[in-house]
């Protein structure tokens, strides 16, 4: 792209937090470098990986890439926020180290933000890929339906509380470009943990600005066993506990926000569901006494819930039988 054309484009900060995924990281960086929209800075923030990825970063020989390595592992969220705070661009986009962008991702989203100063973000749909970067078409279609993007028309959504926080249609961590100066990255509390993307959607929702939806699939989200989503859905007790605590924190804030009062019952229900999830994580961690209060609270404040009732029953079951049941019922 000619330099004079490039200068007319606003700077976009591409944020790539990474930890111990060298081969995937290489693909992620390549997809950022190959963007047809070229006025970008690429911030790679390594969370003190066992194997320093600096050589991988330097192999691209691209002056737009800035590499930062934490001196110790500071946690996923802190590493992510550290990179966000380094961003100098007018716009910002998150690219996980195991995901991939189509080369026209930025070129198709940034112009909508440039054309309308009343927008806080622009987002698109995305593919689901496997460990070998092959598109899983069935999973992709299922994902689009699950987040109701198949029901969204292209264009501007001025009040997007429902699609942002209830339908969760906006993939802020995987397929979204955000107006950088409208978010105070220091204001995101550590308690949001792995739900930082939902909390970011919340900050964008309450900004008073609109969102633009582009229905094309312009990014590729990798589904593999080491994502926190997969871990929290399996027998990894600590991942389940972390996820539940993050959900409880976020949904309590949403439920108490008067601007979101029309969705309060939904947020309260999700808050109580997270109590059960946390309790199940604690049960798997053999912290039975700690688990019960969360189950009692969930049971007393919501209508009959089989998942909660089963978990509470397990908490009174002899440990050997309880362990066997939890081992079989991975999805509760």
User: Is the torsion defined by CA of 137, 143, 148, 149 positive or negative?
Assistant: negative
With 90 as the cut, is the pLDDT of residue 148 above it? Answer: yes
3-state secondary structure string across 53-108: CHHHHHCCCCCCEEEEECCCCCCHHHHHHHHHHHCCCCEEEECCCCCEECCCHHHH
Q: Are residues 191 and 118 in the same domain?
A: yes
pLDDT at 225: 66
pLDDT digits (tens, 9 = 90+) for 78-118: 999 999 999 999 999 999 999 999 999 999 999 999 999 99
Instruction: Pick left, alpha or beta for residue 11 (phi over 0 → left; psi -120 to 50 → alpha; otherwise beta).
Output: beta
In a 3-state reduction of DSSP, which class is residue 114? helix
Same domain for 291 and 165? Answer: no
N- to C-terminal Cα separation, the chain:
52
Does the pLDDT value for residue 4 go beyond 70? no
The mean of the pLDDT values for the chain is 90
Residues 244 and 270 both lie in one domain: yes
pLDDT at 296 (0 to 100): 73
Q: Tens digit of pLDDT for each residue in 155-173? A: 999 999 999 999 999 999 9
Classify 15 in phi/psi space as left (phi over 0), alpha (psi -120 to 50) or beta: beta
Say whether both 52 and 67 belong to one domain: yes
Q: Give the Cα separation of 242 and 194 in Å (integer).
A: 8
User: Is the same domain home to 239 and 183?
Assistant: no
Question: Quick one: 205 and 76 in the same domain?
Answer: yes
pLDDT at 301: 80
The model's pLDDT over 39-85, given as tens digits with 9 standing for 90+, comes to 999 999 999 999 999 999 999 999 999 999 999 999 999 999 999 99
Of 190, 222, 254, which marks where a domain is finished?
Answer: 222
Judge if 26 and 97 occupy the same domain. Answer: yes
Share of the chain above pLDDT 90, in %: 76
Confidence of residue 232 (pLDDT cuts 50, 70, 90): very low
Claim to verify: residue 87 and residue 122 sit in the same structural domain: yes
pLDDT at 285 over 90: no
State whether 46 and 113 are in the same domain: yes
In terms of domains, do 204 and 246 share one?
no
Same domain for 157 and 241? no
Q: How far is CA 258 from CA 80, 207, 263, in A?
A: 29, 14, 10
pLDDT, tens only, 311-331: 777 777 765 444 544 554 555
Mean pLDDT of 214-221: 98
Pair 272, 290 in one domain? yes
What is the structure's pLDDT at 226? 58
Measured CA to CA, the distance from residue 44 to residue 68 in angstroms comes to 6
* Tokens read off for 268: 């309260």
- Choosing from 201, 222, 243, the residue where a domain stops is 222
Report pLDDT for 313. 75
CATH number of 175's domain: 3.90.550.10
Q: How confident is the model at residue 1 (pLDDT cuts 50, 70, 90)?
A: very low
Residues 125 and 175 sit within 8 Å (Cβ to Cβ) = yes
Would you give the distance in Å from CA 13 to the centre of its chain?
17
- End-of-domain residue from the set 222, 252, 285: 222
Specify the pLDDT at position 166: 98
The domain in which residue 265 lies consists of: 228-328
Report how many domains make up the chain.
2
Q: What's the pLDDT at 37?
A: 98
């Amino acid at each position: 792209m000619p330099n004079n054309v490039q200068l007319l484009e606003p700077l976009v900060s591409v944020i790539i937090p990474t930890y111990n995924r060298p081969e995937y990281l290489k693909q992620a960086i390549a997809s950022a470098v190959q963007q047809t929209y070229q006025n970008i800075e690429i911030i790679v923030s390594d969370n003190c990986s066992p194997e320093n990825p600096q050589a991988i970063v330097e192999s691209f020989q691209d002056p737009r890439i800035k590499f930062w390595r934490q001196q110790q592992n500071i946690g996923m969220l802190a590493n992510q926020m550290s990179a966000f705070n380094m961003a100098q661009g007018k716009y910002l986009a998150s690219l996980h180290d195991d995901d991939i962008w189509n080369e026209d991702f930025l070129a198709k989203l940034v112009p909508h933000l440039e054309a309308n100063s009343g927008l806080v973000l622009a987002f698109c749909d995305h593919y689901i890929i496997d460990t070998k970067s092959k598109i899983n078409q069935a999973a992709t279609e299922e994902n689009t339906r699950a987040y109701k993007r198949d029901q969204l028309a292209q264009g501007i959504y001025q009040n997007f509380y429902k699609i942002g926080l209830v339908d969760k249609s906006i993939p802020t961590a995987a397929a979204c470009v955000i107006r950088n100066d409208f978010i105070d990255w220091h204001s995101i509390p550590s308690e949001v943990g792995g739900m930082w993307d939902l909390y970011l959607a919340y900050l964008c929702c309450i900004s008073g600005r609109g969102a633009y939806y582009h229905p094309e699939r312009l990014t590729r989200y990798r589904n593999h066993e080491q994502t926190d989503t997969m871990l929290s859905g399996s027998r990894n007790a600590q991942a389940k506990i972390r996820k539940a605590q993050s959900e409880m924190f976020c949904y309590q804030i949403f439920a108490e926000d008067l601007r979101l009062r029309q969705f309060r019952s939904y947020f309260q229900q999700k808050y109580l569901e997270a109590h059960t999830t946390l309790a199940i994580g604690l049960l798997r961690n053999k912290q039975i006494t700690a688990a019960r209060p969360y189950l009692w609270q969930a049971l007393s404040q919501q209508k009959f819930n089989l998942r909660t009732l089963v978990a509470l029953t397990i908490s009174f079951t002899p440990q050997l039988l309880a362990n066997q049941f939890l081992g079989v019922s991975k999805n509760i």
